[in-house]
Amino acid sequence: MPRALGKSNAHFRRAVQRLPLGVSSNFRYWGDEATVYVKHGRGARVWDLDDNVYIDYRLGYGPVILGHCHPEVDAAARTGQTVGTVFALGTERELAVADLIHEMVPAAELVRFSNSGTEAVMAALRLARGATGKDGYVIFEGSYHGLFDAVMWMADVESLQSIDDEPDMIAYGKGIPGLTRQLFWQARYNDANRLEELLRQNRDKIAAVLIEPILGNCCGIPSMPEFVRAVRELCTKYDVLMIVDEVKTGFRVAKGGAQAHYGVTGDICTMAKAMANGYPIAAIGGREEVMRHYGQDVAHGGTYTAQAMSLAAAEKTLTILRDTTVLADIATYGEAMQAGMHKILAARGIAHSFTGHPSMGGLFFRETPPKNYREWKLSDYSFYDTLARHLIERGVMCEPDSREPWFISAAHDQSCLDQTLAGFEEAVDVTVQELGKAGKRAAG
């Protein structure tokens, strides 16, 4: 039976009169009659205005690693509130949280705080420029580093006819100054040879290589281990700083993040989403000699930076992640969910594969997973797009865009898994019927 969305629809009609698209982020708009408004969340579930209940695999794009309204984290945040709101002065807890971050991520020899992943990456890029005296930087196709002008360019893959074409760079939308295009180079993900050629020719202009070890906005496509190690070696060889963007992977794929997972150490790293279970905080960490440029010749600050409530939530969240088995439990759940999905899809002869890490994995309808953004873009992902709509209708809240991974929290339990797989099986069958495809043809 279709969900009732009458209250969400009515709220949308009012909200769109005051808020562009009726929401506070373009990505929250799913259509005039499909945009969902949340009443509340608890554990692994969210309720919308119409009291539809969803098992949440979006988790705010990853932050809610322990589950919505986690009692210990929320209690810590309330204690933090008793300190006050903002002072434009430091508090003791800044050092306590910085120590925790360094303990878990040794690459973060020194730490500065920000409010969001975007702010942290902006600050990291400015730091790299200040430390090297160079303005340029490298980003990889399919990566996402936040919503600020310097990184809002992408390969025009819509024009690709083959995997080896060299597309033009286009802005994400209007309002991105064309001058920023002159500052960056875009390289292919998981292709160290092309990266070395680029660095060899432009080392005197490039301050940093900015890399997501797992593409958080592109199916969770992971770096091949030899690739991320090569990036580290090439940055050292050509005197370029390596910025490891762990806004999504930090404290999620391992206690030490993707750097621990892959055994590499960045010169600078950024962390945000999982560090406070949804409270707004981010961090920039890195080598001491680089980080000391803050306060000497590189500006960094912010009125709400290191706000007491968020610091308290971060301290509690990181302590739980450090001292318990929750990350292993999250990975076990992700593996079980993928195994259940595999059984359902294999029984129907539907080609599929999984990418990324079990805690933030992507579902891909092809026998072999993509190794980069081009392979995803040049494939048929219509099956996923249709499937996602039917999953949400059945109370399994995944991101409608096939590029976004499925995020797992510590609150996902056996009842969530059972309901998810039951809904998944129904949604797969309805999708096959709707698309008029069967068997292996369903996924191309």
- From the list 137, 144, 333, 381, the catalytic residue is 144
- Angle, helices 382-393 vs 414-435, to 10°: value is 130
CA distance 251 to 239: 28
Task: For residue 191, indicate whether it is catalytic.
Answer: no
Residues in Cβ contact with 116 at an 8 Å cutoff, skipping those fewer than 6 apart: 146, 272, 280, 282
What are the percentages of helix, strand and coil residues in the chain, rounded to 5? 40, 15, 40
Task: For residue 144, indicate whether it is catalytic.
Answer: yes
Contact 273, 87 (CB under 8 A): no
Sign of CA dihedral 234, 183, 213, 278: positive
Task: For residue 61, indicate whether it is catalytic.
Answer: no
Question: Which amino acid is present at 178?
Answer: G
CA distance 416 to 422: 10
CA distance 397 to 241: 38
CA distance 101 to 318: 8
Sign of CA dihedral 376, 395, 21, 431: positive
| Cβ neighbours, 10 Å, residue 313 | 29
Bridge partners of residue 171, in order along the sequence: 153
In three-state secondary structure terms, 140 is strand
Place of tokens 């990889």: 140
- From the list 134, 248, 255, 273, the catalytic residue is 273
Distances from the Cα of 15 to the Cαs of 33, 34, 49, in angstroms? 13, 14, 14
CA distance 328 to 358: 10
Place of tokens 């001058």: 179
- From the list 37, 61, 137, 245, the catalytic residue is 245
CA distance 440 to 444: 7
The residues that are catalytic are 144, 245, 273
